[in-house]
């Protein structure tokens, strides 16, 4: 059992090491897009299914509350999987594939950024929401897995963890999310804290 644990940890670390060795510039670019949206009065809309829904809620919570900087103002990030009444109404009346697209239509405005999360890149409701966002002029960052699926070519910026195991993808997505939160905080609030600004 100890050997199995060590193998799992090694696989997770190797997935992260390889991803950030190859894709750190894209993560930095994603942070810059989010930071710019917040600076200009825009919002971050996040959505995904299952574990990706939990990641969306987690990241939104870090932005609304705080990540490292306890004194900063709240940042407008909204997870679209948190309102059970809206989700079940939409799923019941128009189909589950519309549960995020309809909310993007309701809450999105030009200048906002969407963070679409899908480990397969092929979730029908995520694809539909990206298309809705693009039709409204929103920027879309995809936090994806495998080969990026149908989502990748629709996104303005795709952060794709090229791995076949969902758990390795999700573990890397979690770290990407934390890095985005930290970089955005540093970019927007470092001067207030007397810290050195980051160059996004």
Position 190 scores a pLDDT of 84
Residue 177 lies in a domain: yes
Residue 106 lies in a domain: yes
Identify the CA nearest to 129 among candidates 148, 116, 112: 116
- In whole angstroms, give the CA distance from residue 66 to residue 177: 13
Tokens describing residue 44: 């971050």
- In whole angstroms, give the CA distance from residue 148 to residue 155: 10
Taking only the tens place, the pLDDT of each residue in 134-156 is 999 999 999 999 999 999 999 99
Q: How far is CA 35 from the centre of its chain?
A: 13
- In whole angstroms, give the CA distance from residue 161 to residue 78: 24
Residue 151 lies in a domain: yes
Residue 200 lies in a domain: no
Position 199 scores a pLDDT of 72
CATH of the domain at 75: 3.40.50.10490
Residue 108 lies in a domain: yes
Taking only the tens place, the pLDDT of each residue in 18-58 is 999 999 999 999 999 999 999 999 999 999 999 999 999 99
The answer to whether residue 191 scores a pLDDT higher than 80 is no
- In whole angstroms, give the CA distance from residue 33 to residue 52: 20
Position 200 scores a pLDDT of 77
Position 69 scores a pLDDT of 86
Taking only the tens place, the pLDDT of each residue in 47-89 is 999 999 999 999 999 999 999 988 899 999 999 999 999 999 9
Taking only the tens place, the pLDDT of each residue in 114-129 is 999 999 999 999 999 9
Q: How far is CA 78 from CA 59, 63, 64, in A?
A: 9, 9, 8
- Given a contact cutoff of 8 angstroms between Cβ atoms, the answer to whether 140 and 154 are in contact is yes
- In whole angstroms, give the CA distance from residue 156 to residue 158: 7
What is the pTM assigned to this prediction?
0.95
- In whole angstroms, give the CA distance from residue 114 to residue 44: 6
Residue 199 lies in a domain: no
Residue 17 lies in a domain: no
Tokens 């939990």 — which residue?
54
Domain region containing 183: 27-189
The answer to whether residue 166 scores a pLDDT higher than 60 is yes
Work out how many domains the chain is built from and give that number.
1
Q: How far is CA 6 from the centre of its chain?
A: 29
Residue 15 lies in a domain: no
Tokens 């809705």 — which residue?
132
């Amino acid at each position: 059992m100890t050997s199995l644990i060590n193998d799992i940890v090694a696989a997770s670390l190797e997935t992260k090491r390889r991803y950030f060795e190859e894709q750190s510039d894209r993560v930095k670019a994603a942070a810059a897009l989010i930071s710019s949206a917040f600076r200009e009065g825009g919002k971050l809309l996040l959505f995904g299914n299952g574990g990706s829904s939990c990641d969306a809620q987690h990241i939104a919570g870090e932005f609304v509350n705080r990540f490292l900087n306890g004194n900063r103002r709240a940042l407008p990030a909204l997870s679209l999987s948190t309102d059970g009444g809206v989700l079940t109404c939409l799923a019941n009346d128009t189909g589950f594939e519309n549960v995020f697209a309809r909310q993007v239509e309701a809450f999105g405005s030009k200048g906002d950024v969407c963070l679409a999360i899908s480990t397969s890149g092929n979730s029908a409701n995520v694809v539909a929401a990206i298309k809705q966002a693009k039709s409204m002029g929103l920027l879309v960052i995809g936090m994806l897995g495998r080969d990026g699926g149908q989502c990748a070519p629709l996104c303005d910026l795709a952060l794709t963890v090229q791995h076949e195991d969902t758990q390795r993808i999700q573990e890397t997505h979690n770290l990407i999310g934390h890095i985005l939160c930290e970089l955005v905080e540093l970019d927007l609030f470092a001067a207030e804290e007397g810290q050195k600004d980051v160059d996004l």
